Amino acid sequence: MELPLDPAQYGMVLVIMGGLLSISILADVIAARTAVPRISLLVLVGVVVAAIQQWGLGQPAGPLTTLAEPLIQLALVMVAFLLGGEFTWDRLRTLGPVVGIFSLTVVLASGTAVGLGLWLLGFPVILAVALAAISVATDPAAVSETIHELRAGNTRVGRLLLSTVAVDDGWGIIVFGLAMAFLGWHASGDGLQALLEALWELGGAVALGVIVGIPAAWLTGRLEAGEPTLVEALALILLLAGGAALLNVSELLSAMIAGAIVANLASHHTRSFNEIDYLKWPFLVFFFVLAGASLDLNMLGSALGITGAYILLRILGRYLGGLLGARAVAGRQGALPSGIGMALTPQAGVAMGMALLAGERFPEFSATLMAVVVGSTVFFEATGPWLVRRTLRNNAMTDNNKE
């Protein structure tokens, strides 16, 4: 059996992987000493790679194809699996109906504002619906780190925001799966066939998550912590990523279902989640850099209008969602600041992952989707923490005035 690459090629691949991980250490140092988020730095590294590849070497746009797809898929499956682990019965009971109502209101308002707004502005339905689904994802790390930095985790608004970002990306994965199924049906000339494919993509993802999740819940964590547990965690991720690719189902949804099943049924341990959490950062480094490297720099000018529209509509959707959500839970939660939705604007990995998956599904729109999401992610990662601080400080001033 022949190797797919000659020694010079795979040697260069290994050097590039080592170089990217080394750059991530430098990005961590810069992020620790400045206000620039490390995710933005890694994406910008990818953009530099794209510039060298496209303008310096004259190669076509696109990520380093030898590296990109498997690493991106594994990173996304890890993130989705860990998200599923947040959906335990005990956690959901603790969060209560207030968080469910508030977060769902924000998700629906945000997605509706972006999707309807882009469609009314004349952009294609596929772009409008895909970006609407992508817009509902939030970067929980940026929100939670800012809240803890201000020591606002025990405040009423701080607790609600922390609980909301814990489940927000879960809603996002479900909305994205439904949106991709709808677009598959919309883009197909055969309505019945497209409907069956859409049902398979969602139902098959649930089935794969159950088929992998139930045995994993019973089998994993039976050995001592350490190397065996690491092997168990890797086996789970590879089975989910490979199974989703072979069956052509949603890898995000199947991984989230499996994570939720393991979290709820494997009461004897949580070590698989811990091992995956330790493993995920190197894969996320590759993911963010390769996402930036996927950018078609020649599309930046033509995508400027839709990027600006997406940013403004997402901000509007977050604001309206927070306003409506605050009113919906006012009877149980009490008065909340009208601008609370603005604290949910940070956007990062899950959104870029969704853009990459949507681009694979609809390659004619891939360049535009990546230009919009990469540009908006850098914007929201830079401005999002400031909006979180502003919301919390305004709430603190309001509470003090009431006293």
Q: Please state the domain extents for the chain.
A: 65-402
Mean pLDDT confidence for 370-393: 82
Q: What is the pLDDT of residue 61?
A: 57
Element containing residue 254 per DSSP (H, E): helix 251-265
Listed in order, strand segments (DSSP E) in 302-358 are: none
Q: Please, is 380 exposed, middle or buried when counting C-beta atoms within 10 Å of its C-beta (0-12, 13-18, 19+)?
A: buried
Amino acid at 146: T
Residue 1 has pLDDT above 50, yes or no: no
Q: What is the pLDDT of residue 226?
A: 45
For the ranges 113-117, 136-140, 165-169, the lowest mean pLDDT is seen at: 165-169
Residue 120 — pLDDT band, cuts 50, 70, 90?
very high
Residue 270 — pLDDT band, cuts 50, 70, 90?
low
| Better pLDDT: 58 or 253 | 253
CB-based contact 317:111 (threshold 8 Å): yes
Stated pTM of the model: 0.77
Using CA atoms of 223, 225, 231, 232 in order, give the dihedral in degrees to the nearest 10: 60
Residue 232 has pLDDT above 80, yes or no: no
Q: What is the pLDDT of residue 403?
A: 45
Mean pLDDT confidence for 38-66: 71
Q: Does domain 65-402 have CATH number 2.50.20?
A: no
> What would the pLDDT profile of 279-312 be if each residue is shown by its tens digit?
777 777 777 787 777 777 777 777 888 999 999 9
Report the Cα–Cα distance between both ends of the chain, in Å, rounded: 75
Element containing residue 365 per DSSP (H, E): none
| Better pLDDT: 93 or 341 | 341
How many angstroms separate the CA atoms of 293 and 339, rounded?
Answer: 35
Residue 272 has pLDDT above 60, yes or no: no
Both tokens assigned to 333: 């939660």
Q: What percent of the chain has pLDDT over 70?
A: 79
Residue 320 has pLDDT above 80, yes or no: yes
Tallying the residues shown for the chain, one arrives at: 403
